[in-house]
Structure 1
Amino acid sequence: MNSNADLSTILNRILDTAADNLRIGKILVQMGLDPNNITYDALFNRLFEIVLANITLANMFGLVGAIFFVATLLMQRMVPLRVANIVGCTFFAISCALSGSVATFLLYLLLLPVNAVRLRQLLKLVKKARNATQGDRSMEWLKPFMTERRYRRGDILFRKSDAATEMFLTVTGKFLAKEIGVELPPGRLMGELGFLTPNNRRTATVECIEDGQTLIITYERLLEIYFQSDQQFGYYILVLTGQRLLENNHRLQESIARLEAALAQEKAARQTADARGTA
């Protein structure tokens, strides 16, 4: 009970002190102004004097660093954000060194290599994504972002119309897209179409027909890579999906051509049989 009363007393004293320190009159006194004789000209002149008194090299570097820090909050792409962060930390570190703030100087000095390493990783990711869009269909660059999953013969990876949350890359074994009867060998992507469908639904059922291993990556991780890779990866996914749709269209045309040929042969056979019967 006493502890609660003591805590309440301490909080009240803190609030009273804060309210007293924030009084307009006390703030004006701290600024060197007379609360009983204050004018706009006197206030403006005093503020101008304070600004002039604080125009130092350290504060100028700190101001530039603050501008770059605010810029990082407004950026949507990761690469320019990291660059702005590095520049901002550099100016902050110089400002702290000039003003003698050792602890803050060490903080910003530590942030510089951290941002530099992350920037290097992002630039490598952008380069690999750009190479992918220019014809290099190797998925090696995506593997570090994926996790392993194994399947046995007869396992169903996903069914048509199921909710889609992952994309697969076959590593070993064989898999079958049942609706279209297409076998998926190692090195083939699966499930990328579900990433682009409006309701994220599977467009086919895939079954494991030979024990194998796949690598998977969630759609959430794909979105992260999309934004971090300066949108190059998004274009790559569109190219890959367009290629898959063209393959499916070509396969459909071949099926239609075979069906038409079979119907033509059947029709010719009937006409021949009818001719013989008439004769």
Structure 2
Amino acid sequence: MLDRILDAATDNLRFAKILVQMGLDPNNVTWDAIFNRLLELFLHNITLANMFALIGAIFFVATLLTHTMVPLRVANMIGCAFFAIFGALTGAVTTFLLYFLMIPINAYRLRQMLALVKTARTATQGDMSMEWLKPFMTDRKYRKGDILMRKGDAANEMLLTVTGKFRVVEINVELPPGRLMGELGFLTPDNRRTATIECIEDGRVLTISYEKLLEIYFQNPQFGYYFLVLTSQRLLENLARAEAIIAQNKIAAQPPLAN
């Protein structure tokens, strides 16, 4: 059967031209001859530069198979390093510069991701610091009397207080520096504000859009757990505050004891 396939293929003019270009005789073609010729071509073209390019290509293919950012960045850095060496050995300056410059860029992004992973893991130990998120946020200033957000408005960003004082109007609670605002709107189905916040003392906040939060989440799903802990803490605080108000109202509603 294989011999018949070879005979039919050699009758094809285009295939015959390919065989001639490979250095094979179209009138006398066998599987052993094809294999030996391909092996000969492969060994003939094996050079140190090509070996580096081959290894680099393998790591670039690996980046397409990874599902998380940290291993993707590592594989990409290794692939860029091998391709940069390939460019240096072959004298291709543009290839060398392209892949050489991609190495520190990937290293910087990898460092950001590792810092994010480390901070996210500390959430299980009760560390509610938001310092790790500040590099992704932008600065904004407010004056006394400004309304940062109103209950029911469309929500598209989260805020972190840095200086000044802010008040949740509905429950008359002050928010000191270091507190999140607007994070619950990120979780509501229609992305609506759940409270009105007023600036009662000139201050500065840091903001981050919900789109950026989603980007961080998809780059590192562990951030989702960290954010869940933060929002859960806020919900528990609100629940405790509501229970205290209900308890106070029950006490106030009790009739006075008769003498």
What is the TM-score of this pair, normalised by structure 1?
A: 0.75
Is the partner of 2:163 in helix, strand or coil? coil
1:182 matched residue in structure 2: 173
1:110 matched residue in structure 2: 101
User: Is the Cα contact below 8 Å between 1:133 and 1:232 reproduced in 2?
Assistant: no
Match of 2:204 among 198, 210, 213: 213
Whole-angstrom CA distance in 1 between matches of 2:87 and 2:163: 56
Q: Which has the higher helix share?
A: 1
Question: Pairwise CA RMSD of aligned residues?
Answer: 2.8
2:249 matched residue in structure 1: 259
Inter-CA distance 178–44: structure 2 relative to 1 (3 Å threshold): same
Instruction: Report the alpha carbon displacement of residue 31 of structure 1 after superposing the two structures with TM.
Output: 2.9
Which amino acid in the other structure matches residue 240 of structure 1? L
Match of 1:235 among 207, 225, 228: 225
- For residues 125-144 of structure 1, give each alpha carbon's deviation from its aligned partner in whole angstroms, at most 9, with x where no partner exists: 33344345533323233222
User: Is the Cα contact below 8 Å between 2:116 and 2:223 reproduced in 1?
Assistant: no
Instruction: Report the alpha carbon displacement of residue 214 of structure 1 after superposing the two structures with TM.
Output: 1.5
2:52 matched residue in structure 1: 61
Output aligned runs, 1:156-167, within 5 Å: 156-167=147-158
- For residues 43-85 of structure 1, give each alpha carbon's deviation from its aligned partner in whole angstroms, at most 9, with x where no partner exists: 5554444334334443333222111111112323222111111
Output aligned runs, 1:81-100, within 5 Å: 81-100=72-91
Whole-angstrom CA distance in 2 between matches of 1:197 and 1:118: 30
Larger Rg: 1
Inter-CA distance 200–37: structure 2 relative to 1 (3 Å threshold): farther
What is the TM-score of this pair, normalised by structure 2?
A: 0.80
Which amino acid in the other structure matches residue 64 of structure 1? I
User: Is the Cα contact below 8 Å between 1:96 and 1:104 reproduced in 2?
Assistant: yes
Which amino acid in the other structure matches residue 108 of structure 1? Y
- For residues 21-60 of structure 1, give each alpha carbon's deviation from its aligned partner in whole angstroms, at most 9, with x where no partner exists: xx766555433356x6585736555444433433444333
Match of 1:169 among 148, 160, 170: 160
Of the structure 1 ranges 36-45 and 77-86, higher mean CA displacement relative to structure 2 is found in 36-45
User: Is the Cα contact below 8 Å between 2:159 and 2:181 reproduced in 1?
Assistant: yes
Is the partner of 2:194 in helix, strand or coil? coil
Is the partner of 1:171 in helix, strand or coil? strand
Whole-angstrom CA distance in 1 between matches of 2:118 and 2:146: 37
Whole-angstrom CA distance in 2 between matches of 1:72 and 1:63: 15
Which amino acid in the other structure matches residue 255 of structure 1? I
Of the structure 1 ranges 155-164 and 240-249, higher mean CA displacement relative to structure 2 is found in 155-164
Unmatched 5+ stretches in structure 1? 1-22
Whole-angstrom CA distance in 2 between matches of 1:106 and 1:152: 49
Instruction: Report the alpha carbon displacement of residue 100 of structure 1 after superposing the two structures with TM.
Output: 4.8
Inter-CA distance 161–31: structure 2 relative to 1 (3 Å threshold): farther
Q: Does 1:78 align with 2:61?
A: no
Whole-angstrom CA distance in 1 between matches of 2:72 and 2:213: 20
Whole-angstrom CA distance in 2 between matches of 1:124 and 1:31: 53
Output aligned runs, 1:113-132, within 5 Å: 113-132=104-123
Match of 1:144 among 135, 141, 158: 135
Instruction: Report the alpha carbon displacement of residue 154 of structure 1 after superposing the two structures with TM.
Output: 3.0
* Number of positions where the alignment pairs a residue of Structure 1 with one of Structure 2: 245
